Amino acid sequence: MGSYRTLTLPLLSLLGWTLISAFNLDTDNVIRKTGDANSLFGFSLAMHRQLRPADKRIVNIFAIYYDHHSDHIVDHVSQKCNFHLGLYGCSLTEGIKNLETENKQNQWMGVTVQSQGPGGKILVCAHRYQRRLFVDSVQELRDITGRCYVLSEDLTINNTSDEDGGDWMFCKGRNRGHERFGSCQQGLSATFTKDYHYLVFGAPGAYNWKGVVRMEQKNSSLWDENIYDDGPYEVGDEGRLDPDLVPVPANSYLGFSLDSGKMLTKRGQLTIVAGAPRANHSGAVVLLKKDDVKPSMMTAEYILEGAGLASSFGYDLAVLDINGDGWQDIVVGAPQYFIKDGYIGGAIYVYLNEEGAWDKITPKRIEGAADSMFGLAVENMGDVNLDGYHDVAVGAPYDSNGAGNVYIFHGSPQGLKKAQVLGGQDHNVKLFGYSLAGNMDLDRNNYPDLAIGSLSDSVFVARSVISIEKTVTTTPKELDLTQKNCGDTICYGMALCCKQCKMLMSFNNASMLCTKETLRDKLRGIPIEVSVEILKPSTRRKRQSALPNLLPILDTNQDVQFIKEGCGADHVCQSDLQLQYKFHTREPNRDIFHPLPEENGVPILSLSDQKDIALEIKVANQGEDAYEAQLSSSFPKSLSYSAVHKLRGIPIEDKPVICLANQNGSQADCDLGNPFKKDAETTFYIILNTGGISLDTTEIEIDLKLKTTSDQKQLQAIKAKAIVKIQLLLSLSGIAKPSQVYFTGEVKGESAMKLATDVGSPIDYEFRVTNLGKPLQSFGKASMIIQWPKHNSQGKWLLYLMKMTPTGLDSFSCSNQDEVNKLGLKEPSVSRTKREIGETPAKEGTTSLFTDKRKYTVLSCEDGAECIAFKCPLTGMDSNAVISLRAYLWNSTFLEVSVAVLFFLMARVTVFPERKVAQYGGMPWWVILVAILLGLLLLGLLVFLLWKCGFFKRSKYDDSVPSYNAVRIKREERGKEPGKEEMDPPEKKQWMTSWNENESYS
């Protein structure tokens, strides 16, 4: 929304003005009255008007005086101070002290001073007044009960009046002790009800400092009207005195501040508003009423709880009508409110009444500067500027390094608006604004004034200043921003007329003003602010005992209106913006969106490795033009704004949607159009980064709210929710080495186990986690949960876990670490283990050649095994991690079972008993005989077939060896000598025989 455009016209005048209307408080002509040094003159204040015997305007001022003669502190309201024009204090004669029953030293008479109004009573209290018992003895006791006095309008005690005097001591004579009424401290706060019928007292020390509020009256004239049951009324029941009926806990200080009203909860019902600044360590304000059943009891109707720890919420309060709706509102001070590492020191809470529904009201907090104790004093000023709304003064006595400031807030239909700051530095005092009194006209100009106390022994009276009558006219009265009437700009004329009625003087000034086409706020008019500076005839400041004449200050506002297209004949734009949303996924680096699946109407975000998601926004206007239409979005920590993508709108006009985000992307404001036309519709996508989503994120919630300066009610925020399911691309595999193990031996108890090999056969489990997606560090920490079968259903050991070893992790710490090597067994070296296993002979069982009956028992965590869960965080895992477990099979348990199969996560182990031969089992003899005969018959048949095939026939030599005939050839003569010729290499013929030379051949 664009800021207001303000036009200021400085005017100088030497005219003497008369008084026309109130504007603010005069800071130049402030009346100051100073008391004795170190007397705390101005600790408490009250404005009072005396009607009889003469009309006087009085300020009652409380101070502490030191009595040099008796060397003790005496308290009283200040002596009569001859303030000019009827500004007075008063003195209070306390009468003769009865030292046998009371002590008035240091009683703080006047800690509370209240006026009943014009012609009414004065109430003065001393909350440290003491009752004495067993005086001048070792058992002497003193109770700080407190005491109050009522004075007539002329500040005297009228002995003929039932109310006058100091008999207002309701704690007197009650049970003593701090648990009851021994530290009552009645009168720390007191007030008159708005109907002038009751006096209300606060006693914050009663009931172990729970506090008590009491309402009563003493008027015998009511008896003449047959009214006998009109109080007193008390929190805790005046008859029963039951501390359990007090609606706040111990040490709450209920009754520390008081006010009343008859338009707070129900029309015409009297309600007492009581502060309890220490209730529940933060403070509370309790709205009390007469009990409907018990005639002497006050009960809590509503309790307003303080928000800040040790904020002293309820230290002071005021009841007034801020917004002029006829219902009374409440302003509560919390002077010790703070925010860590913040520049805040005190606050006030403004509760605007919603027809008595206080449980539905959300207060507006107005904060003060650091260490200022803003809200220590809160005062109803009345209607200072005569605009029909009550105004408020708030003291911040420690502001400006202890000088103190008073902040003036004007009432309005929207609540309080800061109007002026009165500073203590201008008067060279400390703790300016410690006390306040207002809502009364002291200088008889029909405007309420304000008295301000400090702890610098000074009191100040600030009076309302007056403004002159004015007239501002513009031409034309309405601007059409589509029509340029001054070249390339839009211009309008303005005429100013300042008139002083009594002296018939006037001043006119005319100007031509221009505006820019780029104006953003086209719905509301341009306010024209005119200021006037009054030049004083002399700058010399004179000390005056009389109130000087006040100079006027102009208070004027005029608006230049615009022609509002699309808003109807009444020029009131009644828009009807409608919002729809839908979650989408976005393809990487492409503006292609796919809606998320839903379960029971709730979107499901299955997040794996995508970086962005998209929120589709569809806005339609089914009413008149919506000016400065805007969508405000707030995102959780798991999401951040990235960009915006717009689809083409309806009608054809396609203006881009511009979104502005804050620095960390947690909020974004998107402009929809100015104006967003009637029947217009637009769709766009808000791209959100998912970098903040972790494994702990279960859902995301986005706040969406449409805004417009047009008239549209019920534009409430919409929460866009989606369930988050993170899909991690993790794979888990497991293996057991060996997958089959054997057991043997004899049964042993736990005490006989010394080495891990005494338990049984070793088994190594290896579980591997592989990450195929984004690194786990981007989501958070993942964990592996291992269900370990420790015992069977009878509580006997199954697998004895010896150790756990990680690979690929930065650190490793599983839960239930005490279950690892629970018996503290030692694991022998590898060589020794192999030697012992090799040398240990296996015991043989009973043998049988033809039997092998096995009993299978399948053990799992769901059936037959008691498991222990080990939760092992995968800290620092990148792509893969391995967790290895070394365990030993507990032989003694498995000796009772022939065969068992253990299912352990993804690793399966089969366990067999170790043996040399099969166990014995019987078989009938005839089966054996038939088997032998069948075997012999089959053997005979086989022999017969081989014989028939000639397998057993022997072959003869002549049939297998061929016969040859040899011929002898005579030796021939050779040309070469024997031994000289070359011989062919010997060659063995294929068929050869041998003969002798002496043999003959035929």
3-state secondary structure at position 479: strand
> How many helices and strands in the chain, by DSSP H and E?
6, 61
Tell me, what's the pLDDT at 550?
Answer: 46
Examine the pLDDT at 368 and tell me if it is beyond 50.
yes
In DSSP terms, 365 is beta-bridged to 349
Q: pLDDT higher for 553 or 982?
A: 982
Query: What confidence category does residue 889 fall into, taking pLDDT thresholds of 50, 70 and 90?
Result: confident
CA atoms within 13 A on the CB side of 683: 11
> Which has the closest alpha carbon to 623: 551, 690, 681?
681
> Which has the closest alpha carbon to 431: 461, 392, 399?
399
- Section 941-945 average pLDDT: 89
- Size (the chain), residues: 1002
DSSP string for residues in 711-775? -------EEEEEEEEE---EEEEEEEESSEEEE-S----GGG--BGGGT--EEEEEEEEEE-SS-
Strands 526-534 and 7-13: parallel
Q: Over the stretch 260-318, which tens digit does the pLDDT of each residue have?
A: 999 999 999 999 999 999 999 999 999 999 988 888 899 999 999 998 888 999 999 99
Mean predicted lDDT score pLDDT of the chain: 77
Lowest-confidence segment of 221-225, 600-604, 696-700, 952-956 by average pLDDT: 221-225
Tell me, what's the pLDDT at 611?
Answer: 76
Q: What angle do CA 154, 157, 159 make, to 5 degrees?
A: 130
Q: 730-823+855-913: which CATH architecture?
A: Sandwich (2.60)
Q: What is the largest CA-CA distance in the chain?
A: 199
Question: How would you label 936-965 residue by residue, b for 16+ Cβ within 10 Å and e otherwise?
Answer: eeeeeeeeeeeeeeeeeeeeeeeeeeeeee
Tell me, what's the pLDDT at 836?
Answer: 47
Question: CB of 274 within 8 A of CB of 285?
Answer: yes
Q: What is the 3-class SS of 647-702, one letter each residue?
A: CCCECCCCCCCEEEECCCCCEEEEEEECCECCCCEEEEEEEEECCCCCCCCCEEEE
| Surface-to-core class of residue 179, CB atoms within 10 Å of its CB (0-12 exposed, 13-18 middle, 19+ buried) | middle
What is the domain partition of the chain in residue ranges? 579-726, 730-823+855-913
Query: What confidence category does residue 735 fall into, taking pLDDT thresholds of 50, 70 and 90?
Result: confident
Tell me, what's the pLDDT at 82?
Answer: 34
Q: Over the stretch 853-866, which tens digit does the pLDDT of each residue have?
A: 455 677 788 887 88
Q: Please state, for a pLDDT cut of 70, what percent of the chain lies above it.
A: 70
Highest-confidence range of 345-359, 595-609, 786-800, by mean pLDDT?
345-359
Examine the pLDDT at 84 and tell me if it is beyond 50.
no
Taking the C-alpha atoms of residue 104 and residue 340, their distance in angstroms, rounded to an integer, is 43
Tell me, what's the pLDDT at 610?
Answer: 67
> Which has the closest alpha carbon to 669: 629, 613, 627?
629
Lowest-confidence segment of 74-78, 575-579, 752-756, 915-919 by average pLDDT: 74-78
Question: CB of 661 within 8 A of CB of 667?
Answer: yes
Strands 602-607 and 658-661: unpaired
Would 579-726 and 730-823+855-913 be classified into the same CATH topology?
Answer: yes
> Which has the closest alpha carbon to 334: 358, 304, 362, 302?
304
Stretch (H or E) spanning 706: strand 699-707
3-state secondary structure at position 89: coil
Taking the C-alpha atoms of residue 178 and residue 251, their distance in angstroms, rounded to an integer, is 11
In DSSP terms, 141 is beta-bridged to 133
Would you tell me how many other CB atoms lie within 10 Å of the CB of residue 856? 10
Lowest-confidence segment of 200-214, 220-234, 503-517, 893-907 by average pLDDT: 503-517
Q: pLDDT higher for 910 or 822?
A: 822
Which amino acid would we find at residue 788? Answer: W
Highest-confidence range of 588-602, 844-858, 986-1000, by mean pLDDT?
588-602
In sequence order, what are the residues at sequence separation of 6 or more whose Cβ sits closer than 8 angstroms to the Cβ of residue 71? none
Taking the C-alpha atoms of residue 886 and residue 759, their distance in angstroms, rounded to an integer, is 13
Would you tell me how many other CB atoms lie within 10 Å of the CB of residue 789? 22
Question: CB of 408 within 8 A of CB of 421?
Answer: yes
Examine the pLDDT at 9 and tell me if it is beyond 60.
no
Q: What angle do CA 35, 37, 43 make, to 5 degrees?
A: 60
Taking the C-alpha atoms of residue 112 and residue 168, their distance in angstroms, rounded to an integer, is 14
Tell me, what's the pLDDT at 68?
Answer: 36
Q: Over the stretch 502-553, which tens digit does the pLDDT of each residue have?
A: 333 344 454 555 655 556 666 556 666 665 555 544 444 444 444 445 444 4
Tell me, what's the pLDDT at 85?
Answer: 28
Examine the pLDDT at 928 and tell me if it is beyond 60.
yes
> Which has the closest alpha carbon to 144: 155, 131, 134, 157?
131
Q: pLDDT higher for 115 or 900?
A: 115
Taking the C-alpha atoms of residue 442 and residue 222, their distance in angstroms, rounded to an integer, is 34
Q: Over the stretch 767-778, which tens digit does the pLDDT of each residue have?
A: 888 877 666 665
Peptide bond into 651 cis (omega under 30): yes
Lowest-confidence segment of 16-30, 149-163, 388-402, 606-620 by average pLDDT: 16-30
Tell me, what's the pLDDT at 177?
Answer: 83
3-state secondary structure at position 602: strand
> Which has the closest alpha carbon to 798: 783, 787, 788, 807?
788
Lowest-confidence segment of 136-150, 323-337, 445-459, 953-967 by average pLDDT: 953-967
| Surface-to-core class of residue 761, CB atoms within 10 Å of its CB (0-12 exposed, 13-18 middle, 19+ buried) | buried
- Section 475-485 average pLDDT: 65
Question: How would you label 325-340 residue by residue, b for 16+ Cβ within 10 Å and e otherwise?
Answer: eebbbbbbbbbbbbee
Taking the C-alpha atoms of residue 778 and residue 776, their distance in angstroms, rounded to an integer, is 5
Would you tell me how many other CB atoms lie within 10 Å of the CB of residue 366? 20
Q: First-to-last CA distance in the chain?
A: 148
For residue 608, the Cα-to-chain-centroid distance in whole angstroms is: 30
Examine the pLDDT at 19 and tell me if it is beyond 80.
no
Lowest-confidence segment of 53-67, 101-115, 392-406, 683-697 by average pLDDT: 53-67
Q: How far is CA 827 from CA 744, 753, 884, 890, in A?
A: 19, 11, 16, 15
> Which has the closest alpha carbon to 455: 434, 436, 424?
434
- Section 50-68 average pLDDT: 70
Indicate whether this model's pTM tops 0.85. no
Which amino acid would we find at residue 495? Answer: A
3-state helix, strand, coil in the chain (%, to 5): 10, 40, 50
> Which has the closest alpha carbon to 375: 403, 414, 409, 345?
345
Question: CB of 92 within 8 A of CB of 79?
Answer: no
Which amino acid would we find at residue 557? Answer: N
In DSSP terms, 560 is beta-bridged to 526
Tell me, what's the pLDDT at 959?
Answer: 60
Examine the pLDDT at 159 and tell me if it is beyond 90.
no
Query: What confidence category does residue 704 fall into, taking pLDDT thresholds of 50, 70 and 90?
Result: very high
Examine the pLDDT at 322 and tell me if it is beyond 90.
yes
Tokens of 166: 């100091």
3-state secondary structure at position 934: helix
Tell me, what's the pLDDT at 309?
Answer: 87
In sequence order, what are the residues at sequence separation of 6 or more whose Cβ sits closer than 8 angstroms to the Cβ of residue 840? none
Taking the C-alpha atoms of residue 112 and residue 359, their distance in angstroms, rounded to an integer, is 31
Examine the pLDDT at 2 and tell me if it is beyond 80.
no
Stretch (H or E) spanning 937: helix 925-948
Classify domain 579-726 by CATH number: 2.60.40.1510
Taking the C-alpha atoms of residue 90 and residue 78, their distance in angstroms, rounded to an integer, is 6
Taking the C-alpha atoms of residue 676 and residue 981, their distance in angstroms, rounded to an integer, is 133
- Section 592-600 average pLDDT: 87
Query: Torsion angle of alpha carbons 587, 588, 591, 596, nearest 10°?
Result: 30
Tell me, what's the pLDDT at 918?
Answer: 39
> Which has the closest alpha carbon to 122: 49, 222, 185, 217?
49
| Surface-to-core class of residue 115, CB atoms within 10 Å of its CB (0-12 exposed, 13-18 middle, 19+ buried) | buried
- Section 473-485 average pLDDT: 65
In sequence order, what are the residues at sequence separation of 6 or more whose Cβ sits closer than 8 angstroms to the Cβ of residue 420? 24, 25, 407, 408
